[in-house]
Chain A
């Protein structure tokens, strides 16, 4: 269906829904690389006007990736909840934007709405929202998940402790693990990106994490961020797997590029739940996403990168994950060029994920070839905390020595706690008190001996 609009004496023509969505997106380098960005700022605003006048119901009739050949589209269309959609079914995208910002849209009504929304509707409305809109509506939404502690409660901010090591040296990993714990981080997950895919070495890391967790009676979960099929193998071999990790994307082909399908994810989900290792909850999945991943594998179907990202959330929500993390600045400047684009993408991803019912966190991060720095990351971490993000990633000193990029430091999490009055998950907060690592709300100047007989360096 062709859409025409006149703006400032000029006529703009948009061929179909994906053309409107791509043209309405804020400028970002990935859409330019794909050749689908608006040609100029006026065309962008024209596309937004068209989008604002489009009925939400239209999204149920026009698939932007073919239904017949894409299992993600089939998932989106077949699982759409018409009853949940009813309260907004008469609205246009523009009216939906205004409703989201209204007092009528509160925590409970937004939660009920979630199954009635498709990712394309959510991506569309986010394109009509300014950064402050993404923050203020984001803040109204709450997604609680739990395993050995509870993530996503009001006025709480979780953190992932990421103790990566370039050669997976167990003592090097333990040293970085100790550093993070003494800085009060790690309630969302103790999560390691292994340098190698070796099953045996991966299992050694999991055993070590589990040993340390039990020795100090820590209410936390660990995760080895390896391919889902490796994790299934480790579960079969009896490894102590708390969470199953996988990178996911918004099309069947893109997921195939990751070596996964909905079927494989279901198998892993089932296997991890059967282990029954959670104490306060049963959310066992940890997904990572990021704008540009489909384009980078040439599997974006001409759809803009932000919309493709939100389609990945439709995959995630099937599995009631504990954590979903958008690794926003990791992909590089070909997709998100500078601080402005990274900040915008981080806010979009959080908003869109939450609106679809996901426990969204973010890796506030950048690579050295992007036009950005720590000051931009400071801005994004504060905006996301204001928006009520579930958790943030942190690494020693903000410098990941395995993946060669910069994320937040554990210290940044402390700063956010002080500035915004947010606290870690309640179970983890109690543990920090029990171990005398905190004095009131302040973290002590902890030294390695504060956790005696920690295995690091033994």
Chain B
């Protein structure tokens, strides 16, 4: 029997990865498919609750570790307001480090809703960005942020006195992808910045945007932002397809 004869939905599955034509028993979905969804959900749940392990970022000891006011993952999920502000010790630490600058840009590895995404995508991305910007930008040491929302970068950037903050942050996990990373860049960061004042590059994962492509877009946006002096909705991503950078493989 050919594959086609076995699965009359075969030709239609080419057009969508929605769960169409699932095998049925009575009214219900066949057990194998029920368990497949449960497995995907379990991975997503694990990604949401995972704590970011700086050792997995492969940066040795050369990073600054900060925390938001959300004390654990459960509070982080419930209280987005707390995830946008640094706790006391983190503020003190950044103030202590700031005089080592000045820097143009800081990269922040922030767990967001998927620490797994940061652990997988941030290391190659960080390496690529540092290599691409090495001669023209003064780059601060990597900041690793726990229980962090996007806006936490505003406070980090302001305390370090940088011109731009780039949050590398885990997206809310879906069933098909639980390790997707977003980049948010904010020029002249300070507490109270609106989301409309940021630029975002999303969907960085093995089956989405590669880390090389992400780096290419980011560098284009950074260069444009420096020229214009702002980020946000008025800065449109008009980067061409990448030609500048060597391909970086996602581990």
Q: Find chain A residues with CB under 8 A from B79 CB.
A: 33, 334
A396 contacts B20, C-beta separation under 8 Å: yes
* B77 nearest in chain A by CB position: A333
B78 contacts A32, C-beta separation under 8 Å: yes
Per the CB 8 Å criterion, the residue count for chain A at the interface is 44
Contact with B along A19-44 (1 / 0, CB 8 A): 00000000001001100000000000
A398 contacts B18, C-beta separation under 8 Å: no
Q: Find chain A residues with CB under 8 A from B8 CB.
A: 447-449
Q: How long is the Cα–Cα vector from A369 to B115 in the complex, in angstroms? A: 13
- A175: which of B20, B38, B45, B174 is its contact (CB, 8 Å)? B20
- A334: which of B12, B13, B44, B80 is its contact (CB, 8 Å)? B80
Stretch touching chain B among A115-123, A281-289, A317-325, A404-412? A404-412
| B138 at the A interface (CB under 8 A) | no
Stretch touching chain B among A98-106, A165-173, A303-311, A357-365? A165-173
Stretch touching chain A among B21-29, B185-193, B236-244? B21-29
Assess A415 versus B28: contact at CB under 8 Å? Given A176-B16, A334-B77: yes
B80 contacts A404, C-beta separation under 8 Å: no
| A185 at the B interface (CB under 8 A) | no
Contact with A along B160-181 (1 / 0, CB 8 A): 0000000000001111101000
Q: Find chain A residues with CB under 8 A from B15 CB.
A: 169, 171-172, 174-175, 456-457
Q: How long is the Cα–Cα vector from A337 to B178 in the complex, in angstroms? A: 20
B175 contacts A334, C-beta separation under 8 Å: no
Contact with B along A317-345 (1 / 0, CB 8 A): 00000000000000001100100000000
B16 contacts A418, C-beta separation under 8 Å: no
| B33 at the A interface (CB under 8 A) | yes
| B53 at the A interface (CB under 8 A) | no
Q: Find chain B residues with CB under 8 A from A417 CB.
A: 27
| B81 at the A interface (CB under 8 A) | yes
| A368 at the B interface (CB under 8 A) | yes
Separation in Å of the A423 CB from the closest CB of chain B?
14
A175 contacts B24, C-beta separation under 8 Å: no
| A72 at the B interface (CB under 8 A) | no
| B227 at the A interface (CB under 8 A) | no
Q: Find chain A residues with CB under 8 A from B14 CB.
A: 457
| B11 at the A interface (CB under 8 A) | yes
A-B contacts counted at CB < 8 A amount to 121
Separation in Å of the A80 CB from the closest CB of chain B?
36
Q: How long is the Cα–Cα vector from A410 to B81 in the complex, in angstroms? A: 37
| A399 at the B interface (CB under 8 A) | yes
Task: Say which size band chain B's interface belongs to.
Answer: 35 or more
> Which residue of A178, A395, A411 has the most chain B CB atoms within 10 A of its CB atom?
A411
- B48: which of A165, A368, A418 is its contact (CB, 8 Å)? A368
Separation in Å of the A30 CB from the closest CB of chain B?
9
Question: Is chain B's binding surface mostly helix, strand, loop or mixed?
Answer: loop
Assess A411 versus B45: contact at CB under 8 Å? Given A175-B20, A178-B12: no
* A32 nearest in chain B by CB position: B78
| B135 at the A interface (CB under 8 A) | no
A396 contacts B18, C-beta separation under 8 Å: yes
Separation in Å of the B118 CB from the closest CB of chain A?
15
Separation in Å of the A438 CB from the closest CB of chain B?
12
Assess A397 versus B18: contact at CB under 8 Å? Given A29-B78, A334-B78, A448-B9: yes
Contact with B along A170-196 (1 / 0, CB 8 A): 011111101100000000000000000
- A172: which of B16, B33, B44 is its contact (CB, 8 Å)? B16
A399 contacts B175, C-beta separation under 8 Å: yes
Q: How long is the Cα–Cα vector from A174 to B9 in the complex, in angstroms? A: 13
- In B107-162, the 8 Å CB interface with A consists of 113
| A401 at the B interface (CB under 8 A) | yes
Q: Find chain B residues with CB under 8 A from A95 CB.
A: none
A395 contacts B18, C-beta separation under 8 Å: yes
- In A109-133, the 8 Å CB interface with B consists of none
> Which residue of B17, B27, B28, B178 has the most chain A CB atoms within 10 A of its CB atom?
B27
B24 contacts A445, C-beta separation under 8 Å: yes
- In A152-168, the 8 Å CB interface with B consists of 163-165
* A333 nearest in chain B by CB position: B77
| A373 at the B interface (CB under 8 A) | yes
- A397: which of B12, B19, B78 is its contact (CB, 8 Å)? B19
| B37 at the A interface (CB under 8 A) | yes
A399 contacts B28, C-beta separation under 8 Å: no
Q: Find chain B residues with CB under 8 A from A418 CB.
A: 27
Assess A404 versus B172: contact at CB under 8 Å? Given A369-B77, A397-B29, A418-B27: yes
| A443 at the B interface (CB under 8 A) | yes
Q: Find chain B residues with CB under 8 A from A369 CB.
A: 48, 77, 113, 172-173
Q: How long is the Cα–Cα vector from A445 to B47 in the complex, in angstroms? A: 37
| A92 at the B interface (CB under 8 A) | no
| A367 at the B interface (CB under 8 A) | yes
> Which residue of B13, B77, B81 has the most chain A CB atoms within 10 A of its CB atom?
B77
A398 contacts B37, C-beta separation under 8 Å: yes
* A443 nearest in chain B by CB position: B27
Q: Find chain A residues with CB under 8 A from B175 CB.
A: 368, 399, 404, 406
Q: Find chain B residues with CB under 8 A from A445 CB.
A: 24
Q: How long is the Cα–Cα vector from A7 to B147 in the complex, in angstroms? A: 39
Q: Find chain A residues with CB under 8 A from B28 CB.
A: 411, 414-415
By a beta-carbon cutoff of 8 Å, the part of chain B in contact with chain A is 8-9, 11-22, 24, 27-29, 33, 37-38, 40-41, 44-45, 47-48, 77-81, 113, 172-176, 178
By a beta-carbon cutoff of 8 Å, the part of chain A in contact with chain B is 29, 32-33, 163-165, 169, 171-176, 178-179, 333-334, 337, 367-369, 373-374, 395-399, 401, 404, 406, 409, 411, 414-415, 417-418, 443, 445, 447-449, 456-457
Closest 7 CB pairs of A and B: A397-B19, A172-B16, A414-B27, A404-B174, A179-B20, A368-B44, A175-B12
Given contacts A175-B20, A406-B37, A457-B14, 17 further A-B contacts (CB under 8 A): A33-B81, A164-B18, A172-B15, A179-B12, A333-B78, A367-B172, A395-B18, A396-B22, A397-B19, A397-B22, A397-B33, A397-B37, A401-B16, A401-B17, A401-B176, A409-B29, A411-B22
